[in-house]
Amino acid sequence: MINILIKKELSLYFRNLNNIFLPLIFFFLIISIFPLVLGPEKTLFNKIIPGVIWITAILTTLLTSNNFFKEDFNAGIIETYLTSDVSIEIVLFIRIIVCWIFTCLPIVIFIPIVSILFDITFQSSIVILLTLVIGTPILISIGIFGSALTLGLAKNNILTPVIIIPFYIPVLIFSASAIQSVSAGLPYDMQIYILASLLTLVLPTMPYLLKYTLEISINN
């Protein structure tokens, strides 16, 4: 069962290579806008680049997760999920993980290149990478939750980000704090542990929450 589910997700992503490359291109485009807007002042830019990377990661996850269930909803697949006698929590869990692998993992992999481009110190870039690896699965899960929540509504393009961005704040606070700590030469492991505990809280509970949310959304 699980191998069919994984095979299906992978073939869907590989058949639309757009789904893999567009988030990455989007990420690079947004990052390269900042130097254009802020001018060539290097000290200012070095200070804000970790924040810029995080904001860009947020925008990417927002865009990719916004219409996560839309196509399945229009095709009636969500109804099949909910009238099924197998536990669809596994299905949803696999879909979250695969979505993360194809939208956020490329960004994480390209962080070293971004670090070289923008002259980020090795220490900082390690922490940025670490916070992104732990933080983006949380962001993706919350984004997918938002898309399930607004599924029944006809026009939901801007509503979903409005609902879910407040839920991003805890992740942002601890990621930013970890990055600030490392650049100030302070220990940052406390923030990483908190992020990791948020991840272990969000990831296993999200499929159950999603199922419940889909049931409500489809009832409207």
Q: Which of 10, 199, 219, 204 is nearest to 102 (CA)?
A: 10
Span of 57-65, 77-85, 109-117, 118-126 interacting with other proteins by CB under 8 A: 77-85
Binding mask 198-217 for other proteins (x = CB under 8 A): -----------------x--
- Is there binding between residue 5 and other proteins (CB under 8 A)? yes
- Cβ atoms within 10 Å, residue 1: 8
Q: Which of 168, 213, 203, 214 is nearest to 96 (CA)?
A: 203
Site residue total, other proteins (CB under 8 A) = 28
Which of 58, 91, 107, 210 forms a contact with other proteins (CB under 8 A)? 91
- Is there binding between residue 154 and other proteins (CB under 8 A)? no
CA 177 to chain CA mean position, Å: 19
Name which of 43 and 74 has its Cβ closer to other proteins.
74
Name which of 85 and 189 has its Cβ closer to other proteins.
85
Q: Which of 192, 212, 208, 189 is nearest to 90 (CA)?
A: 208
Residues 6+ apart with CB under 8 A from 145: 164, 206, 209, 210, 213
Q: How far is the CB of 23 from other proteins (least distance, A)?
A: 18
Per CB under 8 A, which of residues 6..25 are in contact with other proteins? 8, 11-12, 15-16
Residues 6+ apart with CB under 8 A from 122: 115
Name which of 5 and 126 has its Cβ closer to other proteins.
5
Q: How far is the CB of 218 from other proteins (least distance, A)?
A: 5
Residues 6+ apart with CB under 8 A from 202: 137, 138, 141, 142
Q: Which residues bind other proteins (CB under 8 A)?
A: 1, 4-5, 8, 11-12, 15-16, 71-72, 74-77, 79-86, 88, 91, 215, 218-220
